[in-house]
Amino acid sequence: MKIFYVILLLTLSGCAHIDYKPSVNPYSALGDLVNKYQLNTQQLKCEGINASNCLTLVHELNQLMLEHPGNTAILSIAAYSFYKSGRANQAQQVINTLLNKPNPPLNAITLGISLAIEQGNLAKAKSIAQYGIDVFGTQSSPYLQMASIHYAQGSYVIASNYLELAAKFGLKNTIYFYHKGLIEEGNANNLLACNYYEQVLSVEPEHKKALARRGKLSILGNCYS
């Protein structure tokens, strides 16, 4: 009987060894996806011929989230991908999960602010932005988003102050000049606004928003040329 018991244990151990599949490292799996879809080298584009790639990416991310629920890095990439592929509601659900975790990453905070602004919930956007400033005070993005919130509320002086702080912490010059243009338009300083848009276009001639803003002001006679 004892021999039979030992044989049974060995048999079960052998079966367990045969059926065992080592779990995939979530960071390795995520890294493979990031490289596959070049998420670390360019913005995700989901329009036109890129739509099918985004659909596949979303499917793979959903699978990863099932396999590794609660993984912050996977959730962050998933929220971004859902948002870029037009799945704002799904992105919001993931962002809510991330913002309720200890120490949410900056990219989750940034997307959370953007979603709140798009939903017209400026009070929520301001609260998240303030948290971003408190935790990531040496990064430009929370200051820029706080500037955008105050701009949307018509508080142009406060918006300008936050924009200057964003510039202090490394905001790209073209982004700074474009938003200076928006603020000066809000202040009805159209000639100055036009000058800021022209500074953007001197560096990025195809900047669509600056082209449109500068074109409108030019038609109204608010630019030198």
pLDDT band at 41 (very low <50, low <70, confident <90, very high): confident
pTM recorded for the entire structure:
0.82
pLDDT digits (tens, 9 = 90+) for 144-188: 999 999 999 999 999 999 999 999 999 999 999 999 999 999 999
Q: 117-171, what's its fold?
A: 1.25.40
Cα Rg, the chain, nearest whole Å:
25
Environment class of residue 199 by beta-carbon count within 10 Å: exposed (0-12), middle (13-18) or buried (19+)? middle
Q: CB-hemisphere CA count at 13 Å for 161?
A: 5
pLDDT band at 11 (very low <50, low <70, confident <90, very high): very low
pLDDT digits (tens, 9 = 90+) for 81-110: 999 999 999 999 999 999 999 999 999 999
Q: How far apart, in Å, are the Cα atoms of 14 and each of 7, 24, 96, 117, 213?
A: 10, 22, 44, 57, 71
Spatial CB neighbours of 118, under 8 Å, sequence gap ≥ 6: 88
Q: How far apart, in Å, are the Cα atoms of 85 and each of 37, 63, 65?
A: 13, 17, 17
